[in-house]
Every structure is written in structure tokens, then in C-alpha cells.
């Protein structure tokens, strides 16, 4: 029997498909932001909670993957994750208020957190070193295809059906995955290990309070709000308790991984890079719809080339890293990503499809370069026994940075939109010389009130556009300014085996 048709491989296919569904769910919602804002009666700051709640819940649970599978078994954890993910997807589709959606997305994040890591863990545990690269390629394709399929599928569904179906689409995948794993996955021997739920609770409450502070700070005037001060204080206290438990050796995270400077700095680079990049990735589709009036499916299609560029770029970077220092390639990738973001800040009020596609492709090619090269550098000097712990911390840094970046970007967009609107609207007056000259070009509009109303609409559009462009500008400048960071990392062995930790 061929390896590709064995029971274990059928399980690997099922887990890969579920991992794909989870990754798609990270990106598919971004296309539906304008529709969600209307349906849930929320502004951009509030709607960001529907994404960050999912990401934070997943980030917090990821470090538990190894402990949960050891204690309860991969099969049981997979089935429970599928059940939670599927039911919460249905609940998200039925949500009628912002608060319901935030709670359901948080539950969905808990269910989806383990799925990509379980797929990787299953391959490592059930295949030989010679077989692992072949099966891991299937999982890698699914993980890379997620950001491509998400916007395209989301755009098509919202345009032709209803935004609720972006959640319902997970249900048949969960049913199929649950059935295949129930039938074909064998039970494994479990160990009765102790999980320090106290430290996990400290981490969950601390990170949750910090995320809420970042998300809602702008709406509640930051430190002028007693509520925001309380949430920040709680975040500091509970994160402090979590660190204290870790230093005592009683923690869900093995603090020994933080003694490796190269790994810690790699996590910092990952956090900085993704926190800067995630804002543009999350709200780019909303800009295309709100500013340029593009249909939601078109906005989704225009983002697909980013993922295609990433698929093409990954093997190119890995091949070049055998001849060129990976750190130099990473600097190039960071500059390319920053330059593409900087170029986006000069987009005009009239859309250029050629320019958008070019910048999206360059961004995808630069982004994947940083990711794959950093993966090859981060685990240098990490013992095999600590590989799982390091993977949990590394993926936590990636996920949490995405939520922080999305929240900060939403705050920037909302504040800049208000600032630009106030500045421009102050100049819309029949007593302003510039307005009088400009209004003469409005042929067919004789009433000054009508001219002012038309101007108000244009001012609003300009304010929205400028708020997005300012975000892209700041992202690009900071990414280019931080391009030196890879020089502090170790140079990887060109012939080293790719990391497959979980």
C-alpha cells in the first residue's frame, strides 16, 4: 500500500484541511469588515475586537498544545478542538450583536488554536525522518494557501451570499474532519502529567486585559479613563504573577527557552515585524471597499497575488540561503516589505489596479522571506527536548503580535480620520478663498449649500483615505528603520535540516 493512502496519511489530510480552515478564518473576516460594521452597528475600533479576540484566544492556548496532547492524547484533543471550532463557527454566523460576536470569536479561537500545531505534531510522531518532508509539504501548502484562499473566498461569499456564510463554511469541513479522525486515528498512550492551570490563568487574564487596554484605549481616552487604568494595572499584575510562576519552575511555559538569546531575539523580531505588518494586511481590503468603492469580491481577488508571491518566494529564499547569508536576505526582505508599504502611502484617490497588484506582490514576496528565514534562524542551538516549548512561544509571539498590530492600526485609522476631517472641514466655507475658487468648478451646482454638501462628502472620503495612507507610511518607515535587527541573530548552517517542531 502506498504511503499516500494509508490510514495515518488520511488522518494527516484531515488535520491539514482543518488547519487550512483555521488559517482561512484568520483572513476571511478582514474582507467582510465593512459588512460586519453595518450589521453589528460598530465602528472600526469596535469591529477590531472581533478579530483580536480570536487571535488572542488562539495565541494564549497555543503554548498548551504539547501538554494537552501528552495528557489527553492527540486524538481526543483534535476531536474536542473540531467540536468547539465547528459549534462556535455556527454561533458566529448567528450573532446579532457586537458582544455576541466577540464572545463567539473568542471561543472559536480556543477551538482553532490547536489545529495547525496538531497537524505538525502528528507528522513528527507518526512518520520517519525520511517520510516527514513529504507529508509536511502537504501541511505547508495548506498553511501557505490559507492567506490566498481566505480573502478570495470571503469576497465571493459576501458578494454573492451573506457575510454569515463566511462562518458557516467551516461546518462541513469540521464534520468531515471529525468523521475521518474518529474512524482512522488510533488512540495513543497518554501520560498523567501535571498542567499548571494557575500560571495559565495568570497568562490568560494578563494578556486579555492588555489586549483590551490596547483595543479600547482610544475609545475611552486612554489614561483619562479609570476603567482603562484598571485594565492596564490588572495586565501588569497578572503578567507579573505569570513570570513569577515561571521563575519558580511551575509554569505552562518552560522558561529555560528564554536563556537562548538567539531564540529570544528571533521572537522579538517576529513580534516587531508582524505587529507592524498585520495592520495593513487586516484593513487593506476595508480601504479598497470604503475609499475606492470596490465590490467585496474584487477587494478579495486583489489580495490573492500576495499569497501567490509568497508560495513562489519561499523556495527561492531557501535556495539562496545556501549561498548567501540568510541574515542579509532577511534584511533585503524587510526593506522590500517596508518599501512596498511606504509606496502604498502614496496611492491617489483614483485606484490603479496595476499599482495595487504590483505592491501586493512585492509585499508578499518580502513578507515570506522574513518568515521562512527567521524560522531557520530561530531554532539554532535549541535542544530537541525544548523544541516543542520553543514552537509554542514562537507561535504565541506571531499570533499576539498580529492582534496588537490590528488593534493599534484600528486606533491609528480612527484617530487620523478624525484629525484629517477636522483639518479639512475647517476649510469648507464660502468665506474661504480656496473653497470659493474650487467651488466654481462645480458646474451645475448653483446653491452654496449644495456645494458645501458635496464638499463634505469629498472631505469625508479624503479623511478616510488619508488615515489609511498614514498607517502605511508609518509601517513602511519603521520596517525600513528596523532592518538592521537580523544582524544580531546567528547565521544558520546552509545544510541544516528544516525545523519541524510543534
CATH number, position 5: 1.20.1250.20
φ/ψ of residue 189, rounded to 5: -70, 130
| CA–CA distances in Å: residue 441 to residues 389, 435, 444, 451 | 65, 10, 9, 10
pTM of the full structure: 0.83
In a shared domain, residues 337 and 385: yes
Q: Give the model's pLDDT for residue 445.
A: 58
Q: Is residue 429 in some structural domain?
A: yes
Spatial distance between the Cα atoms of 455 and 445, rounded to a whole number of angstroms: 12
Show which of 211, 228, 251 is a domain's final residue. 251
* Structural domain containing residue 213: 196-251
Residues of the chain with pLDDT under 70: 1, 144, 384, 427-452, 494-502
| Residue 118 included in any domain | yes
Do residue 278 and residue 320 come from a single domain?
yes
Q: Are residues 421 and 296 in the same domain?
A: yes
For residue 130, the tally of other CB atoms under 10 A from its CB is 7
Looking at the fold, whether 312 and 386 belong to one and the same domain comes out as: yes
Which of 7, 158, 166 minimizes the C-alpha distance to 75? 7
Considering the domain architecture, whether residues 284 and 211 belong to the same structural domain is answered as no
* Residue 87, domain member (yes or no): yes
pLDDT at 452: 66
Q: Tell whether 210 is covered by a domain.
A: yes
Q: Which tens digit of pLDDT belongs to each residue from 217-266?
A: 877 778 888 988 999 999 999 999 999 988 887 788 888 888 899 999 99
Asked whether residue 299 is assigned to any structural domain, the reply reads yes
Same domain, 232 and 147: no
Rounded CA gap, 219 and 413, in Å? 12
Whether residue 105 lies inside any domain: the answer is: yes
- What are 176-186's pLDDT values in tens digits? 999 999 999 88
**pLDDT reported for residue 153:** 86
d(CA 423, CA 425): 6
| pLDDT for position 7 | 87
DSSP helix/strand/coil, 35: helix
CA distances from 479 to 277, 400, 472 (A): 9, 18, 11
CB 378 within 8 A of CB 267: yes
C-alpha torsion 422→426→427→429, nearest 10: 140
164 and 108 inside one domain: yes
Q: CB neighbours (10 Å) of residue 422? A: 11
Residue 446 has a pLDDT of 58
**Do 280 and 411 share a domain, yes or no?**
yes
Q: Is the dihedral of CA 31, 32, 38, 43 positive or negative?
A: negative
Q: Rounded CA gap, 325 and 448, in Å?
A: 64
Question: Do 395 and 294 share a domain, yes or no?
Answer: yes
Do 100 and 240 belong to one domain? no
Residues 5 and 143 reside in one and the same domain: yes
State the pLDDT at residue 497.
Answer: 58
Residue 333: CB atoms within 10 A of its CB come to 25
Task: Give the pLDDT of residue 502.
Answer: 44
Res 436: pLDDT: 65
Q: Total structural domains in the chain?
A: 3
Q: 104 with 232, same domain?
A: no
Let me know if residue 256 belongs to a domain. Answer: no
In-domain check, residue 212: yes
Amino acid at each position: 500500500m502506498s504511503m499516500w493512502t494509508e490510514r495515518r496519511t488520511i488522518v494527516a489530510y484531515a488535520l491539514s484541511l482543518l488547519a487550512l480552515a483555521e488559517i482561512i478564518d484568520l483572513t476571511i473576516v478582514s474582507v467582510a469588515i465593512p459588512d460586519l460594521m453595518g450589521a453589528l452597528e460598530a465602528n472600526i475600533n469596535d469591529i477590531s475586537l472581533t478579530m483580536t479576540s480570536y487571535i488572542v484566544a488562539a495565541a494564549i492556548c497555543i503554548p498548551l498544545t504539547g501538554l494537552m496532547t501528552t495528557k489527553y492524547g492527540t486524538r481526543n484533543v483534535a476531536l474536542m478542538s473540531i467540536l468547539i471550532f465547528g459549534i462556535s463557527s455556527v454561533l458566529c454566523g448567528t450573532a446579532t450583536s457586537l458582544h455576541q460576536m466577540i464572545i463567539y470569536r473568542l471561543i472559536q479561537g480556543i477551538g482553532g488554536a490547536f489545529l495547525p500545531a496538531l497537524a505538525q505534531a502528528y507528522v513528527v510522531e507518526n512518520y520517519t525522518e525520511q517520510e516527514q518532508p513529504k507529508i509536511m509539504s502537504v501541511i505547508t501548502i495548506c498553511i501557505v494557501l490559507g492567506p490566498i484562499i481566505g480573502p478570495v473566498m470571503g469576497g465571493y461569499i459576501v458578494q454573492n451570499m451573506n457575510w454569515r456564510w463566511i462562518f458557516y463554511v467551516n461546518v462541513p469541513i469540521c464534520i468531515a474532519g471529525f468523521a475521518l479522525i474518529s474512524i482512522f486515528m488510533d488512540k495513543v498512550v497518554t501520560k498523567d502529567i501535571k498542567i499548571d492551570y494557575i500560571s495559565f490563568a495568570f497568562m490568560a487574564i494578563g494578556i486579555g486585559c492588555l489586549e483590551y487596554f490596547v483595543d479600547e484605549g482610544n475609545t475611552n481616552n486612554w489614561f483619562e479613563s479609570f476603567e482603562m487604568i484598571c485594565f492596564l494595572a490588572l495586565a501588569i499584575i497578572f503578567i507579573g504573577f505569570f513570570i513569577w510562576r515561571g521563575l519558580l519552575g511551575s509554569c505552562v511555559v518552560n522558561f529555560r527557552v528564554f536563556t537562548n538569546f538567539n531564540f529570544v531575539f528571533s521572537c522579538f523580531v517576529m513580534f516587531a515585524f508582524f505587529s507592524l505588518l498585520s495592520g495593513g494586511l487586516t484593513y487593506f481590503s476595508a480601504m479598497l471597499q470604503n475609499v475606492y468603492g470596490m465590490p467585496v469580491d474584487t477587494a478579495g481577488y486583489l489580495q490573492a497575488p500576495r499569497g501567490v508571491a509568497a508560495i513562489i518566494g519561499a523556495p527561492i529564499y531557501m535556495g539562496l540561503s545556501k549561498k548567501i547569508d540568510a541574515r542579509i536576505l532577511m534584511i533585503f526582505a524587510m526593506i522590500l516589505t517596508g518599501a512596498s508599504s511606504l509606496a502604498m502611502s502614496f496611492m491617489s484617490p483614483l485606484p490603479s489596479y496595476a499599482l495595487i497588484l504590483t505592491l501586493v506582490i512585492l509585499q508578499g514576496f518580502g513578507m515570506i522571506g522574513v518568515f521562512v528565514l527567521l524560522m531557520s534562524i530561530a531554532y539554532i542551538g535549541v535542544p530537541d527536548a525544548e523544541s516543542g516549548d520553543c514552537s509554542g512561544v514562537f507561535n504565541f509571539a506571531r499570533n499576539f503580535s498580529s492582534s496588537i498590530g490590528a488593534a493599534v492600526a484600528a486606533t491609528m485609522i480612527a484617530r487620523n480620520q478624525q484629525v484629517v476631517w477636522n483639518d479639512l472641514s475647517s476649510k469648507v466655507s464660502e468665506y474661504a478663498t480656496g473653497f470659493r475658487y474650487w467651488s466654481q468648478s462645480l458646474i451645475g451646482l448653483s446653491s452654496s449649500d449644495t456645494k458645501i454638501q458635496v464638499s463634505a462628502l469629498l472631505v469625508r472620503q479624503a479623511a478616510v483615505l488619508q488615515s489609511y495612507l498614514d498607517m502605511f507610511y508609518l509601517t513602511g518607515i519603521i520596517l525600513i528603520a528596523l532592518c538592521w535587527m537580523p544582524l544580531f541573530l546567528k547565521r544558520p548552517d546552509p545544510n541544516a535540516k528544516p525545523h519541524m517542531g510543534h
